[in-house]
Amino acid sequence: MPEGHVVHRQARRISRAFKGQALEVSSPQGRFADGAALLDGSTILRADALGKHLLVDFDDDRTLHVHLGLYGKWTFRKAPLLEPVGQVRLRLVGETAYADLRGPTACEVLTPDQVEALAERIGPDPIRKDADPERAWQRVHRSRAPIGGLLMDQSVFAGVGNIYRAEALYRAGIDPYRPGRDVSREEFMVMWADLVELMHDGVRKGRIDTVREEHSPRAMGRARRRDRHGGEVYVYRREGRECLVCGTEVVWADMAGRNLYWCPTCQAH
DNA sequence: GCCTTATGTTCAC
DNA sequence: TGAACCTAAGGCT
């Protein structure tokens, strides 16, 4: 259940574990048997993330594309090899370690053209150095759709998920229902810079913390508080509890089938 | 043990 | 807008 920061961590981990090695590739579950056969014995050149998409380049111009979706998960282990447990779609075995992939939405082999097409259909990823926020700004600026929806649109912001959506809007003081076209360029650029900072922090720590020091319950002498996803946040899944800043009850709504959380006082407009 | 829920995307209507 | 995809964890019994 990852947002972009997790996928970037996984790309880094795959690079460190397997780069330059000829891998044994298999599909214990069988659903990726053809792709695994195609990649088996090939060498990994690099692994990278584009938003929530993981791309692993093998020699011979073949790229493994993995999207974890809502349930997908990687597990990394040191040798010795253990029998696959459960539904393992893909197993990568290197010299001293191996990785198992379960439950992904996408696990396929792409050609260079297909990789290019993927890169073109997703928006700028705040975690990547080559991201151009102007592309996202043009989309937001011209849209009547609510900014809360645009933040979840991967063709506008790649890698942003439900937690970063809720927290970036909270920190910017923006009502999730405000139309994109009513967000000023200044507000957009501040929010983009904030996403860059928050998501880089997520890559570094492997968890999402968004609460500023001055608002942290620790700083106010209260017990350390961890939210259910493992980090410390202002509004995500805190419906019915008090806003850490103003005390108003955090509220919840369904927005396009996803859970949306915000503080109606701190994010009034 | 059973039921609900989840940091997501795509497709059909 | 809703269902399907597909797996694991947590809450409930």
What are the structural domain ranges in chain A? 4-121, 133-262
- The predicted pLDDT at position A109 comes to 95
Tell me the nt nearest to A104, Cα to C1'. C6
Return the pLDDT at A223. Answer: 54
**What pLDDT score was predicted for residue A71?**
86
Exposure string of A245-261, with b = 16+ CB inside 10 Å and e = fewer, is beeeebbeeebeeeebb
Distance of A91 CA from C5 C1′ (whole Å): 21
Q: Which of A19, A46, A207, A258 is an active site residue?
A: A258
Is position A181 annotated as part of the catalytic site? no
Model confidence, pTM:
0.95
pLDDT of residue A225: 60
Looking at residue A1, its pLDDT comes to 67
In the block, residue with structure tokens 């909270």: A170
Record the tokens describing residue A63, joined without a space: 């790229």
Long-range CB pairs of A208-216 (<8 Å, 24+ gap) are: A208/A3, A208/A5, A208/A163, A208/A164, A208/A167, A208/A233, A209/A233, A210/A167, A210/A170, A210/A171, A210/A234, A211/A244, A212/A171, A215/A244, A215/A245, A216/A244
Nucleotide B3 C1' to residue A44 CA (A)? 42
Which pLDDT value is given to residue A222?
56
In whole angstroms, C8 C1' to A73 CA is 9
CA A258 to C1' C3 (Å) is: 15
Q: For domain A133-262, which architecture applies?
A: Orthogonal Bundle (1.10)
* CATH no., domain A4-121: 3.20.190.10
Q: Nucleotides of chain C within 7 Å of a protein C-beta? A: 1-3, 5-8
Residues 220-259 of A with CB under 7 A from strand C: 256-257
Q: Which amino acid is at A87?
A: Q
Amino acid identity of residue A210, one-letter, is: T
Q: Is A235 near strand B, with its CB below 7 A from some atom of it?
A: no
What pLDDT, on the 0 to 100 scale, is given for residue A226?
Answer: 63
Look up residue A257 and give its two tokens: 């089938």
Which bases of chain B are under 7 A from a protein CB atom?
Answer: 6-10
Is A19 an active-site residue?
Answer: no
Here the tokens at position A61 are 């111009």
Give residue A83's pLDDT.
87
> Distance in angstroms, CA of A265 to C1' of C10?
31
pLDDT profile of chain A (269 residues), mean per 10:
91 95 93 94 96 95 94 91 88 95 93 94 96 97 96 96 96 97 98 97 94 78 61 92 94 93 96
Structure confidence at residue A126 (pLDDT) = 97
Q: Using the CB atom, is residue A71 less than 7 Å from strand C? A: yes
Cα A250 to Cα A244: distance, rounded to the nearest angstrom: 9
What does the pLDDT read at residue A165? 96
Indicate if A52 belongs to the active site: yes
